[in-house]
Structure 1
Amino acid sequence: MKKASFYFVLAAAFLFSAVSCSSNDDNSSNSSTDPAQVTATVTQGTWRITSFVEDGTDHTSDFTGYNFTFGSNGALTAANGTDTVDGFWTVTSDDGSDDDNSTGDSDFNIIFSTPASFAELTEDWDVIERTSSRIKLRHISGGDGSTDTVTLEKNS
């Protein structure tokens, strides 16, 4: 029970910090990355990671066989038939306070605490492309300026 409470508090704190300081609520964003449209897309069906590059290193194989389900309640589940990994997700309007200095886009927030390979996905990703079957995400590090990317593709 303590573990579930910890995750709830962690998710609540992250969500509060992600949405509490928005400075561009009136700014209309690109329709392909609009938070409501991204949310509507990702909550339909299951998804797989077809590319994950972090600091120039391809980590896609860490997620081979995992199907990701983005629940409308913010629950995120990755399952491969044997193992299940639980996390949280949200999509919010970018408030310009993240590391990349861009505004008018959407932040796709992913939270996993374990295992380590999944914890690497925990970021405020910028949505750079959305179609009905593919979502591309990018994170620019505030520390060293490196760029990480994730591509999610919908399972047929």
Structure 2
Amino acid sequence: MTRILIAFCILFALTACENEDNLSPQNSTESINASLTLPDGLIITEFVEEGRDKTAIFSPFTFLFNSDGSVVASKTGTSINGTYLVFRDDGRVELRMDFPESSELYELSDDWYFISQSGNTIRFEDSGDKLVFQQQ
């Protein structure tokens, strides 16, 4: 009986180690960044929050997502600096953006779930809210 218990423990330990060693590279931030390209010159073509269309507030801004995790949103006479991160959580690709609380872009500070990328359009959503970027 003791030998069976020891064999079971060894088998369990080997299986647990094997699962950790076989983590998919798709779970790394690097490969997600490669599969979700945020090109230069993105504008917001749709932003709906809590059922209200707020696109007009954000559409004048052009977004530049830099490789160092910074994002700069510019419109005539104004530039707002923020940060972003593309990552995988619970099997879904997300875009996290953070802008200063005092800025007019603060409402975009959230974790946005990636929905699709088609041509020059990238779609995100979060709890019914919609965010759509398009390259100029």
Normalised to the residue count of structure 1, the TM-score between the two structures is 0.64
Q: 2-side partners of 1:114 and 1:80: how far apart?
A: 18
Percent sequence identity is 25
**Aligned match of 1:118 in 105, 111, 116?**
105
Which amino acid is 1:85 matched to?
A: I
Deviation at 1:118, TM superposition (A): 0.8
What do the CA deviations read for 1:71-124 (whole angstroms, capped 9, x no partner)?
011110110121111100110012x2xxxxxxx220111111144541110111
Deviation at 1:52, TM superposition (A): 0.3
**1:135 matched to 2:107:** no
SS in 1 for 2:105: helix
Count of aligned residue pairs for this structure pair: 110
Considering fraction of residues, name the structure with more strand: 2
Q: Which runs of 5+ in 2 are unaligned?
A: 1-22
Structure 2 partner of 1:68: 63
Which amino acid is 1:122 matched to?
A: S
Q: 2-side partners of 1:152 and 1:118: how far apart?
A: 14
Structure 1 segments, 4+ long, off by >2 Å, are 25-29, 114-117
CA pair 135-154 structure 1, distance change in 2 beyond 3 A: same
**1:57 matched to 2:52:** yes
Contact 2:45–2:134 (CA under 8 A) maintained in structure 1: yes
Deviation at 1:26, TM superposition (A): 3.1
Contact 1:35–1:106 (CA under 8 A) maintained in structure 2: no
Q: Which runs of 5+ in 1 are unaligned?
A: 1-24, 97-103, 141-146
- Following superposition of structure 1 onto structure 2, how do residues 40-51 of structure 1 map, counting pairs within 5 Å? 41-42=37-38, 44-51=39-46
Contact 2:80–2:103 (CA under 8 A) maintained in structure 1: no
Q: 2-side partners of 1:68 and 1:48: how far apart?
A: 6
Contact 1:139–1:149 (CA under 8 A) maintained in structure 2: yes
Which amino acid is 2:94 matched to?
A: D
Q: What's the Cα RMSD here?
A: 1.9
The higher radius of gyration belongs to: 2
**Aligned match of 2:24 in 23, 26, 29?**
26
